[in-house]
């Protein structure tokens, strides 16, 4: 298990050991260089990003409450938007159920 940053060799933060290969500052620098800027996204990608951000703000405020998976009941669930024009209308799904829903959408 890696305990030091793969780039700068500093000791990893305790929360990153076994999960990340880079320290927070090296990871942040990498993301600044490589993450797509909002202005470079397509209109559809911008709409999706804005809906996710909007919904996450409401989750942090406690207005939109996190729920268990609506299919299997797993407490570790994530948001799914059926319509990105309605950012607060979300379905809570665990990762496997979420991936299955997207596979079904792609097949149709």
Q: Are residues 62 and 27 in the same domain?
A: no
pTM of the model: 0.72
How many other C-beta atoms are found inside a 10 Å radius of the C-beta of residue 102?
12
Q: Are residues 103 and 50 in the same domain?
A: yes
Q: Are residues 63 and 103 in the same domain?
A: yes
Q: Are residues 20 and 47 in the same domain?
A: no
- pLDDT, residue 44, reads 96
Q: Are residues 64 and 87 in the same domain?
A: yes
Q: Are residues 14 and 54 in the same domain?
A: no
Q: For residue 10, what are the domain limits?
A: 1-35
Confidence label for 108 from pLDDT (cuts 50, 70 and 90): confident
Q: Are residues 51 and 66 in the same domain?
A: yes
- pLDDT, residue 21, reads 92
Q: Are residues 10 and 54 in the same domain?
A: no
- pLDDT, residue 105, reads 86
Query: What string of DSSP letters covers the chain?
Result: ---B-TTT-PBPPTTTTTT-SS-HHHHHHHHHHHSPPGGGS-HHHHHHHHHHHHHHHHHHHTSS-----TTT--SS-EEEES-TTSTT-EEEE-HHHHHHHHHHHHH-
Q: Are residues 10 and 51 in the same domain?
A: no
Q: Model confidence over 76-103: pLDDT tens digits?
A: 999 999 999 999 999 999 999 999 999 9
Residue 71: pLDDT above 90? Answer: yes
Q: Model confidence over 5-59: pLDDT tens digits?
A: 999 999 999 999 989 899 999 999 999 999 999 999 999 999 999 999 999 999 9
Number of domains, the chain: 2
Q: Are residues 14 and 56 in the same domain?
A: no
């Amino acid at each position: 298990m890696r305990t030091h940053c793969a780039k700068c060799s500093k000791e990893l933060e305790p929360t990153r050991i076994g999960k990340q290969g880079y320290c927070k500052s090296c990871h942040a620098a990498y993301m600044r260089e490589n993450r797509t800027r909002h202005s470079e996204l397509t209109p559809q990608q911008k709409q999706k990003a804005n809906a996710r951000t909007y919904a996450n703000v409401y989750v942090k405020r406690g207005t939109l409450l996190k729920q268990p998976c609506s299919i299997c009941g797993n407490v570790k669930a994530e948001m799914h938007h059926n319509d990105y024009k309605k950012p607060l209308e979300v379905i809570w799904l665990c990762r496997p159920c979420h991936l299955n829903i997207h596979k079904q959408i792609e097949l149709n």
